Structure 1
Amino acid sequence: MTTGAEPGEDRSDPSLGAIMSERRRLINLGYRLLGSLADAEDVVQETYARWYALSEREQRAVESPGAWLMTVASRICLNLLGSARARRETYVGDWIPEPLPEPTEWIAGRSSTDGTDPADRITLDESVTMAFLVVLDAMTPAERVAFVLHDVFRYPFGEVAEIVGRTPAACRQLASSARRRIRTARTPAGPGAEQADIVRRFRTAWEAKDIDALISLLDPDATATADGGGLAVTHPAPIVGGEQIAHAYAEIARLTGDRTTFLECTVNGLPGLVARQDGELATVFAFEIVDHRIRHIWAVRNPEKLRPWRTD
């Protein structure tokens, strides 16, 4: 995480507090658009740099500094999303969004009166789950920005159009296309306590190398995906099938033995696991649980994506 003084911190600007109070909102936006907290922080730094590059007269002419900052951050993210696709082509293995520890709070959404069915609304909490971010990552940059700004942050399509550089009608179509993708992939989540119990039983079965118990907790068509980014050892391709995952994870437990310990935690707002090997943070696991079984496991081992989890 970027440290040191924030942009403009040494200026005696009476509006500084209001400007800097937008930082959390900008981070929330950047993370959902880019799937990376590190990239989101870079976007926020660049956004503030552009604000403070304005003259005092130009700053005073901005009617809503918060809206200005969100617009600039969104455009920076849109540009980064285009280049990110090229970077992914050289990424070693599967790319998974950066997992986040339990949030202390999520920002409030904007109100909207565009007539969208409330059942299609996406809450800020839901929009940060790993399953949701994976679906977002499959969208085109324009789809992703239009959808997140409108459906998550409640921006009207007129404002979205100015940011994306398309007509309001085109942005409405982009968001609609994205919404269909979300609706197809969206599954009702069970109660938090039930999901936590399933993750706990998975942990116990894994530690015991109990293959039958693991199979009973996994959907027959489950998938396990790992992200090492070439910096950590992982299985080279997604493992497909509950039985195959059970055997693979039991073998991992056999190989690592007493060197690995697990901690139950919250990952992107849902029950997950953290694994430590020889006392060092090694992996963060996120789960998608559907109909009382684990449908997907995301294992993030790339150390560059685990910075928010380190306390040392």
Structure 2
Amino acid sequence: MMRAAWYERTGAAADVLVVGERLDPHPGAGEVRVAVAVAGINPRDVKRRAGAGDRTMDDPLVIPGDDGAGVIDEVGPGVGANRVGERVWVHSATFGRQHGTSAEHVVVPAAHAIALPGDVPFAVGACLGVPALTAHRCVFADGSVDGQTVLVTGGAGAVGRYAVALAKRGGATVIATAGGPEQEELARAAGADHVVDRHRSDAAAVIAGLAGPGGVTRVVDVAFGANLPLTSAVVATGATIATYASAAVPEPALPFYALMRRGITIRTVLVFVMPPAAMRAAVRDVTAMLADATLTHPIAATHPLDDIVAAHRAVERGGRIGRTLLRIGPAAP
């Protein structure tokens, strides 16, 4: 048996989340089981549990959590026994599955458990997953950014910080927007060359001036609909807006002709449907950047598994800077 958190209907965290004992899962062909040390909580986890956006239960019982880190303790047929004992970070645990990382054990496809360098804490591994892979896809889906100017909206957010670091490492000049002094500092720490207060009435003009004659050629956008007045004003001809969320304006009205006349590409990004080659490249680059400490991983709070209701509520409230984590295993450095 294992300790886990789960829900059997959608609703408020305190109403539907249960912590207790579940049967241990075991890996099938091509799968591994991970003894989870730390799990990460993403906005998707709490929205899915809450039933936001008319989400319904796809399964009769869901253990939430896509991201986490721990140690492989069992492998299924077709996976080398030498992977047992390997420290890993896990991503996409609940995509097409019921049981995620908010449990002492999680079973995932072997390719979704990525070797974690021995000197990297499990807490850092649990931060990666969805945010880091999303950022990589947003930055590099349309090729190299070397010599380009990249605008990252929400540069202090989980995806935004990784996007800033990846774009900078890729040779871009990076402009980030942020919502206050603390957020601005985090975006700079991630590698942004310039940070602009998103509340400024002249933010578009400031960004255009920083971008210079070449303009902004790539945008990584956290709030597509809400940010369209800004992003559509600063993008250069032939630019790409890669966006992974539009919570405030879920069905935005496009300034179609203004974008069409400049040949703007709008790319929507969802990590779970990334092409296999793009996923392999993202995993490779993110793991390599762990080794040289390029990435930063602010952590807002780490809750015990028994406190998952408070952790979900904190993510829903927003306002925290950094990831919210669950401590699962007895040894979770």
TM-score normalized by the length of structure 1: 0.26
Rg larger in structure: 1
Q: Which has the higher strand share?
A: 2
